[in-house]
């Protein structure tokens, strides 16, 4: 990875993981880690894998030792990532699942954050191997079948790549340094796991994901290897995504998505002022506020106001501020329509004051995914497109970290899934002095890369 001089601003991190367990039946797999990149060619391997004929596809792969210090071997598919859909299509389809994840995965009223992009990517990789009713359930929740979801996310990745390039050209505002946007997908497989070659190729063409061989029989070492991969991809913001006992000798595959983002504000905030009151849901605290007067996109609706704060690339952070006494109602009712309206404002002169904050949350995804209609994943799913064994999801974990200050943001996120055997006019002044919602998104697709809330910036 090329060296970049970047602004140390604020930190975000997100990680999601899904472990898959099943009965091993011989064979071997290796793993490679490829950063997702938009591409212009498709592959017949995707069609074969998603048509339910995984045993007939011949893999075109290269095997080499891992070069990132984690150890093990890497298996790289000699295929190119498929052509993504247009940004507009990706934007329309990914907002509903983003809002549903917020409502189900972030219960309670404390500060919270997750990455819809990371979670959807992990589920999308899993969907490529789902069949029957499990594939139908995933399609219902994600809003499309497995190949379609992969193309939507390819559109988001293409937009992120454009945003990173735009930041190096200093196309937005007066930011002094380029943004760093690094999505990465990987599949960790057991050394004796009979994963279908067509599934691995579908991952490569759909997500640019490679496969790394680990020995799940040595669970502690396997956990350490996955956590090291995540820590590297999130620049150390998420060092321990995989908890103890998340993987064991029965684990067959762990699907991981990680996202790292660092970007300065297009125009910096004025440094924090003297402490001012912030009204929480239970009282009042005193915190410094940072201020900025600038032209920004501004929107409003029943019981809320919003403004989109430009970052140094084609990225923005949109803050949604419910009217006094309305936070619980707006938060509980967050949906795709509100997210779309909040991120699609009109340019106004905005007088903005907001506190800096840092949030770090790890989320067990089993209960929220079950509430969304994916409970069968953890019981008796049909994942017969991955391997010939009976498989089930033994766990799903997600972690996100975000820090926001007067200079900008830095973020990282990851999701892991383990599969075991049978297992221009002035706007009203906008002061964020009460609980608010926020999302960080690219400008083209407005896909929530991070979505969260702040109810007490002192915590």
pLDDT at 190: 85
Are the C-beta atoms of 403 and 410 separated by less than 8 Å?
A: yes
pLDDT at 88: 67
Q: What is the DSSP letter of 427?
A: P
Collect all residues with Cβ–Cβ distance below 8 Å to 437 and sequence separation of at least 6.
319, 320, 322, 330, 331, 334, 451, 452, 453
The pLDDT > 90 percentage for the chain reads 47
pLDDT confidence of 21, banded at 50, 70, 90? Answer: low
- Residue 342: count other Cβ atoms within 10 Å of its Cβ: 27
Are the C-beta atoms of 154 and 83 separated by less than 8 Å?
A: yes
Are the C-beta atoms of 394 and 126 separated by less than 8 Å?
A: no
pLDDT at 176: 52
User: In Å, how far are 11, 189, 322, 328, 373 from 414, measured between CA atoms?
Assistant: 14, 18, 29, 28, 22
Work out the mean pLDDT of the chain and round it to a whole number. Answer: 80
pLDDT at 101: 96
More confident residue, 24 or 342: 342
Question: Is the pLDDT assigned to residue 188 strictly greater than 50?
Answer: yes
More confident residue, 176 or 227: 227
Among 129-133, 165-169, 200-204, the range of highest mean pLDDT: 129-133
Q: Quick one: which of 249, 251, 221 has its CA closest to 70?
A: 221
pLDDT confidence of 127, banded at 50, 70, 90? Answer: very high
Question: Is the pLDDT assigned to residue 422 strictly greater than 70?
Answer: no
Q: Average pLDDT in the 165-186 region?
A: 72
- Residue 296: count other Cβ atoms within 10 Å of its Cβ: 24
Strands (E), 338-459: 346-355, 357-364, 392-393, 395-404, 408-420, 425-426, 430-431, 436-442, 448-454
| End-to-end Cα separation, the chain, in angstroms | 35
For 310, the enclosing helix (H) or strand (E) is strand 304-310
Model confidence pLDDT, tens digit, residues 63-119: 555 555 666 676 655 667 777 766 666 767 889 999 999 999 998 899 999 999 999
Model confidence pLDDT, tens digit, residues 382-418: 999 988 877 888 889 999 999 999 989 999 999 988 8
User: From CA 261, how far away is CA 46, in angstroms rounded?
Assistant: 29
Render 177-203 in DSSP notation, one character per residue: S--EEEEEEEEEEETT----HHHHHHH
pLDDT confidence of 194, banded at 50, 70, 90? Answer: confident
User: From CA 354, how far away is CA 4, in angstroms rounded?
Assistant: 29
What domains can you pick out in the chain, each with its CATH number? 13-266+358-423 (3.30.497.10)
pLDDT confidence of 37, banded at 50, 70, 90? Answer: very low
pLDDT at 59: 41
| Alpha carbon of residue 172 to chain centroid | 24
Model confidence pLDDT, tens digit, residues 228-249: 999 999 999 999 999 988 998 8
Q: Exposure pattern of 362-376 as b/e (b: 16+ CB <10 Å)?
A: ebebbebbeebebeb
Q: Is 44 buried (19+), middle (13-18) or exposed (0-12) by CB count in 10 A?
A: exposed
């Amino acid at each position: 990875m090329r060296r970049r001089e970047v602004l140390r601003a604020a930190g975000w991190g997100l990680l999601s993981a899904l472990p898959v367990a099943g009965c091993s039946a011989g064979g071997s797999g290796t793993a490679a880690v490829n950063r997702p990149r938009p591409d212009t060619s498709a592959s017949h391997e995707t069609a074969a894998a998603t048509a339910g004929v995984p045993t007939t596809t011949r893999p075109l792969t290269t095997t080499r030792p891992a070069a990132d210090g984690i150890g093990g071997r890497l298996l790289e598919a000699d295929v190119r990532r498929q052509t993504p859909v247009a940004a507009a299509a990706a934007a329309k389809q990914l907002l509903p699942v983003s809002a549903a994840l917020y409502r189900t995965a972030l219960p309670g009223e404390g500060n919270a954050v997750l990455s819809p992009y990371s979670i959807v990517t992990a589920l999308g990789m899993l969907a490529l191997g789902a069949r029957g009713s499990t594939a139908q359930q995933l399609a219902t929740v994600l809003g499309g079948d497995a190949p379609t979801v992969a193309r939507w996310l390819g559109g988001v990745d293409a937009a992120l790549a454009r945003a990173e390039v735009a930041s190096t050209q200093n196309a937005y505002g007066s930011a002094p340094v380029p943004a760093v946007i690094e999505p990465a997908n990987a599949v960790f497989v057991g050394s004796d796991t009979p994963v279908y070659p067509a599934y691995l190729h579908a991952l490569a063409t759909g997500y640019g994901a490679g496969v790394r061989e680990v020995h799940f029989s040595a669970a502690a070492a396997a956990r350490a290897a996955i956590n090291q991969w995540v820590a590297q991809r999130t620049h150390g913001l998420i060092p321990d995504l995989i908890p103890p006992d998340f993987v064991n000798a029965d684990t067959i595959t762990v699907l991981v998505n990680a996202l790292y983002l660092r970007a300065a504000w297009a125009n910096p905030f004025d440094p924090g002022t003297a402490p001012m009151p912030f009204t929480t849901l239970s009282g009042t605290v005193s915190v410094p506020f940072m201020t900025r007067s600038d032209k920004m996109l501004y929107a409003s609706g029943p019981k809320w106001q919003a403004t989109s704060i430009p970052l140094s690339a084609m990225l923005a952070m949109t803050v949604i501020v419910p009217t006094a006494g309305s936070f619980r109602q707006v938060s509980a009712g967050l949906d795709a329509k509100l997210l779309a309206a909040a991120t699609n404002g009109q340019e106004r002169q905005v007088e903005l004051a907001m506190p800096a904050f840092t949030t770090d949350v790890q989320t067990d995804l089993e209960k929220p995914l079950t509430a969304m209609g994916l409970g069968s994943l953890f019981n008796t799913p049909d994942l017969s497109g991955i391997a010939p064994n009976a498989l089930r999801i033994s766990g799903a974990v997600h972690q996100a970290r975000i820090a926001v200050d007067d200079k900008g943001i830095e973020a990282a996120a990851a999701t892991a899934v383990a599969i075991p055997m049978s297992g221009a006019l002035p706007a009203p002044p906008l002061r964020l002095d009460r609980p608010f919602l926020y999302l960080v998104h690219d400008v083209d697709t407005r896909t929530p890369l991070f979505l969260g809330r702040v109810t007490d910036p002192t915590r």
